Amino acid sequence: MSSYDIQDLLNRKNSIIKNSVGLDYDTFEFSGIGFDYEKMMHDAGYSFEEVRNIQNNNMVGATPLIELKNITEYARKFASPGYGARIFLKDEASNLSGSFKARRAAISVHKAKEMGYKGVIAATSGNYGAAVAALAAKYGLKCIIVQECFDSKNLAQPEILEKARACEAYGAEVIQLSVGPELFYTFLNLLDETGYFNASLYSPYGIMGIETLGYEIAKETEKRHGKFPDVVVCTNAGGGNLTGTARGVRRAGAKDTKIYGASVNLEGLHMASDQDFNRKSFTTGHTGFGLPFAINPDRSDVPRSAARPMRYMDKYYTVNQGSVFFITEALAVLEGLERGPAGNTSLAVAFKLAQTMKKDEIIVVQESEYTGAGKHHQPQLSFAKKNNIDISFGLPHKEKPGQNIILPISAEKIDVQNIDLDRIRKSYLKRYKNKKLTDEDYRYLSDELSVGTNRVKELLKEVKA
């Protein structure tokens, strides 16, 4: 694609996106920096009950909530007397396509069929591609999945290749690209050429689909145990998982339930770097997506992302790669559940946090995903070794992403880091430090950052200083 063609695409970006999503994003814009988030969600056109019905008709949702009794007892070994919260897992691996992403895809693909599109396109290297492909197969629509897959040496992550295999098994065409900006241009060009529906991760349809997950967690916990969860831990990447779950939890009436984000710490690795691309052992659920999308949600493939994690996040934790691999094996050995790495990121965090909570409290790991072939932790560790990453047992805090992976010498040594949310808020506000803001702008930022308008002004002063 020539530079002229790319510029032409970019000039027509808004009209291409409008035609491919069925929403006119201009109608949601305020006069200043903000937009009407709730109106955008409402105008997607489905009630909550309609979303649930669409999912139920497609073998999606109503997944089991499992008490991890053995993992809980394991955590209590390292807790003080009277401490060690009950750990539960929402087993999303039982969805069609094997992950919570089927909840997103069910609504997006249903919308595409309803509006008369002949096919759907999604840009994703993760489980969402398989989910879109599976739902497109059920609806009789064509499907194209665009993956960022290779580095310049033509080496690909085993987890990404596994997901490509899954997409192709459902009948999708998979277009694999090298790391870098060509993903966005190729995706935009395909939307333009095919006229297919943009099954974006960041559309309102996707977030509405995940609301049912949070709702189920809250209602089932209340029904079985007479109370809502004390904490729900959500693996955080682009922010949609946490956003949708939190909205569903609130819809269920669980206003006191805390929502915590969890990401694998990949500090120092740049996701668009050819050199760094294969020096990580996680393709999602890590800080390489979690932090940039928290700081700037609208860096996505639609004008206004419906994934707004800072509106809903009470705390944000990171954990090292080795600890997630450790807890993945513990889940299999102690509970007989072999599950993929994304949900186990939250499980590692929940395992540690449970030790600081009282025994009668409940902490829920909000999703699991299928595993197998390249998604299993053994291929990932083998791939790391081939890339000269040192694998060892030791203390997790000594792990340096891109250089080594340290599995804890004991579960007692699993550690998590609490990220200062004000640090993220200030990074978010940097783009406005030289802009004159109105009262409406401050109200919008208050919603975006989940703090009062006075606190927004204080943080902005710190940024300017």
Give the model confidence (pLDDT) of 146-180 as tens digits: 999 988 899 998 988 998 999 999 999 999 998 87
Order of strands, sheet of 86-90, starting from the edge strand that comes earlier in the sequence: 65-67, 86-90, 362-365, 231-235, 258-264, 315-319, 416-418
Range of the structural domain that residue 314 is part of? 1-419
Whole-prediction pTM: 0.96
Give the model confidence (pLDDT) of 356-404 as tens digits: 999 999 999 999 999 987 788 888 999 999 999 999 999 999 999 999 9
Q: Are residues 402 and 429 in the same domain?
A: no
Q: Are residues 183 and 248 in the same domain?
A: yes
Beta bridge partners of 144: 121, 173
Q: Are residues 434 and 398 in the same domain?
A: no
Q: Are residues 369 and 431 in the same domain?
A: no
Closest listed residue to residue 422, CA positions, set 463, 371, 385: 463
In this predicted structure, the answer to whether residue 125 has a pLDDT above a threshold of 90 is no
pLDDT of residue 182: 81
Q: Are residues 316 and 439 in the same domain?
A: no
Name the DSSP class of 437: P
- Kindly report the three-state secondary structure assignment for every residue of 106-144: HHHHHHHHHCCCCEEEEECCCHHHHHHHHHHHHHCCEEE
Whole-Å CA distances, 341 to 309, 372, 376, 427: 21, 11, 8, 28
Total domains present in the chain: 2
Q: Are residues 318 and 451 in the same domain?
A: no
Q: Are residues 447 and 315 in the same domain?
A: no
Q: What is the CATH number of the domain that holds 228?
A: 3.40.50.1100
Region for 260 from its dihedrals, namely left if φ exceeds 0, alpha if ψ lies in -120 to 50, beta otherwise = beta
Q: Are residues 340 and 280 in the same domain?
A: yes
pLDDT of residue 409: 97
What is the bridge-based pairing of β-strands 315-319 and 416-418? antiparallel
Apex 29 CA angle, 27 and 34, nearest 5: 160
Q: Are residues 74 and 195 in the same domain?
A: yes
Name the DSSP class of 371: -
Rounded Cα–Cα distance for residues 147 and 272 (Å) = 13
Give the model confidence (pLDDT) of 67-122 as tens digits: 999 999 999 999 999 999 999 999 999 999 999 999 999 999 999 999 999 999 99
In this predicted structure, the answer to whether residue 271 has a pLDDT above a threshold of 90 is no
Q: Are residues 53 and 122 in the same domain?
A: yes
Closest listed residue to residue 231, CA positions, set 244, 220, 217: 217
Whole-Å CA distances, 421 to 141, 235, 243, 424: 42, 16, 16, 5
Mean pLDDT of the chain: 95
Q: Are residues 364 and 438 in the same domain?
A: no
Q: Are residues 338 and 382 in the same domain?
A: yes
Give the model confidence (pLDDT) of 326-352 as tens digits: 999 999 999 999 999 889 999 999 999
